[in-house]
Structure 1
Amino acid sequence: MNKKELIDTVFHDTDITKKEIDLVLTKVLETIMDRVSNGEKVQLVGFGSFSCVKRKLSIVSNIATHSHRAYNPCIKFSAGKFFKEKVNIS
């Protein structure tokens, strides 16, 4: 499912316009990204939490371009209890 399909689904289940849904969804996603990028944990009870995990810096090589760069992945999502139950994850 992509963003447009999500907006369409919410639109058909509510009395809210697609434009309003898109605005709210965009703002929610921007807020989550802003907070996590600032090192905060965003927790949506029952759904899950987003956080930034500090990991050891590693150097990544691109064989095609012969370039190297530092890579420090830090985004983490942990599914909440309700989410896990909904998709039957133990």
Structure 2
Amino acid sequence: MTKADLIEEVSRVVEFTRKESEVIVEAIFDSVVKALREGDKIEIRGFGSFRTRQRQSRVGRNPKTGARVDVPAKRIPYFKPSKELKDLVNDEGTETPAATPAPEL
């Protein structure tokens, strides 16, 4: 599923325009990135958690030339799925119900 597919799915389920759905999806992604940049952990119960992990600096090799390359320390994003998500993904006997459109207000 691509971001465009996700926007289309949100648009279909909540019956918003594609543009409104795009704003929602972008706002969620921007919030996740902002929190990770600030070093916060994002936990979505029943889905999983996002956090960053610190990678130490190291010496690597250029695969073409074999020359040593200093790789600096950096933070990387990391996703840890919840037990519920793992169970849903691995439960082959039960189909996950498709999202249903929002009720009329």
Report the TM range for the smaller structure's normalisation: 0.7 to 0.9
Question: RMSD over aligned Cα, in angstroms?
Answer: 2.2
Aligned pair count? 89
Q: Which runs of 4+ in 1 moved over 6 A?
A: none
Contact 2:54 2:73 (8 Å CA) reproduced: no
Which secondary structure state, in structure 2, belongs to the residue aligned with residue 63 of structure 1? coil
User: Any stretches of 5+ residues in structure 2 without a counterpart?
Assistant: 92-105
The worse-fitting range, judged by mean Cα deviation, of 80-89 and 62-71 is 62-71
CA displacement at 1:9 relative to structure 2: 1.7
CA displacement at 1:73 relative to structure 2: 4.7
Aligned twin of 2:41 = 41
The one-character-per-residue Cα deviations of 1:64-84 (angstroms, maximum 9, x if unpaired) are 476833253532110013211
Aligned twin of 1:78 = 80
Percent identity, aligned pairs only, is 26
Equivalent-residue separation in structure 1 for 2:37 and 2:61 (angstroms): 25
TM-score by length of 1: 0.79
User: Which structure has the larger Rg?
Assistant: 2
Equivalent-residue separation in structure 2 for 1:67 and 1:20 (angstroms): 49
| 1:55 matched to 2:55 | yes
User: Any stretches of 5+ residues in structure 1 without a counterpart?
Assistant: none
